[in-house]
Amino acid sequence: MATSKDVARLAGVSHTTVSRAFRKDAKIKPETYERIMKISEELGYVPNQIASSLRQKKTKTVGLIISHGFNPLFLDITHSIETELAKHGYRLLISFDDDDPDQQWNILQSLASAQVNTILFTPLVRDPAQKERLHNWMQQSAIHFIQLVSNSYEDITSFTFDDNLGAYLGTRHLLSLGHRNILMIGGVNRTAGYERAYAEFQAVPHHPFQDLTGRDDEESYDNIKNALLTQKPSAVFPVSTSLSYVTYEVLQDLKLEIPRDISFLAFDDERWLQLLHISVIGHPTQALSSSIVREILSYETVDGEIYPSSTTFKPFLIERQSILPFSKMRENG
């Protein structure tokens, strides 16, 4: 059965333009409208009017799928969203997919059966076939979808953090204090920010970047310990919640004093990092949560298709007491 995506691809337009054409949007050029109608007729495509009408059913129920259940960052976001939605009479159905694509798919089906109006989730796509299946299903569904800290699908609304900027800010801060041998731990998708900071200082990392994330904490521990012993960095910069904790554990076991022996900068402002006065790259979680709630509430008043948007929030540096200038560290003091 032909879909609006098929029409859009053959017509050389976006999925939303096809929807606007069927609503006879006056802003669409006549030639574009005619091309879309001609291709639709050839494919036998007709809009899913049933799905459109279902969108008008306001159950005031939102589904939220958490992929990183033990990450305090996601729990903080969840708590903020639930608190704000409750003020407007919404209820939040929370599920955990344990970072398993198949489990996430099953939860999505269950939430759809529960007739939720909106689903918040971080798409887990391991291969092109999975990605295509999920995309097609979302396009045909009457549910509003919001990608949480992900932008896997450009035509689905998303709210993300600019983690490459976070990697850049952290690396730049360490470089500005004279560090050159900086071990960034994890963050295979954040190397652009790391490399950008080095380039601005006309420097190069002492060692090629390698993702030290293991299959579990024990393997990550071994990888990090080996890197510390062989590369002897003056600063470490783990860029995920779990890796920050494991890195701290390794430093303690190696009896490396922070910051006299090694400077330590972490990602995400967790409570334990605050208590230990660890400098971090923080994220505006409250701003993200508030924006998501406003997006969900806006669906109440929209009659017709929702146009996807992408909103990115900038991280920021929180300086505490875990970093020293390179010249003041024990080996160089």
Sign of CA dihedral 227, 183, 177, 320: negative
pLDDT the model gives residue 254: 97
Whether 275 and 321 have beta carbons less than 8 Å apart is answered as no
Residue pair 235/228 in contact (Cβ under 8 Å)? The answer is no
- Cβ-Cβ contacts under 8 Å for 235 (sequence gap 6 or more): 174, 179, 181, 182, 183, 262, 263, 264, 265, 323
> What is the residue type of 205?
P
Rounded CA-CA distance 258/185 in Å is 17
Residue with tokens 């990550």: 220
DSSP conformational letter for 256: P
pLDDT in tens, 170-179: 999 999 999 9
- Residue 108: C-alpha distances to residues 6, 274, 310 (Å): 24, 36, 22
pLDDT of residue 48: 60
Q: What are phi and psi of 128, to 5 degrees?
A: -60, -35
What does the alpha-carbon distance between residue 53 and residue 300 come to, in Å, rounded to a whole number?
A: 13
- Contact by Cβ (8 Å): 258, 251: yes
The span from the CA of 174 to the CA of 153, in Å, is 34
| 177, 324 Cβ separation under 8 angstroms | yes
Q: In Å, what is the CA distance from 235 to each residue of 22, 91, 230, 245, 283?
A: 57, 45, 14, 15, 21
* 195 Cβ contact list (under 8 Å, min separation 6): 205, 209
| pLDDT means over runs of 10, the chain (333 residues) | 82 82 77 90 70 58 86 87 94 92 93 92 89 89 91 92 96 97 92 96 91 90 96 95 94 96 95 96 95 92 74 97 94 56
Instruction: List pLDDT tens digits, range 1-58.
Output: 677 888 888 999 887 788 778 777 777 888 888 999 999 888 878 776 445 544 445 6
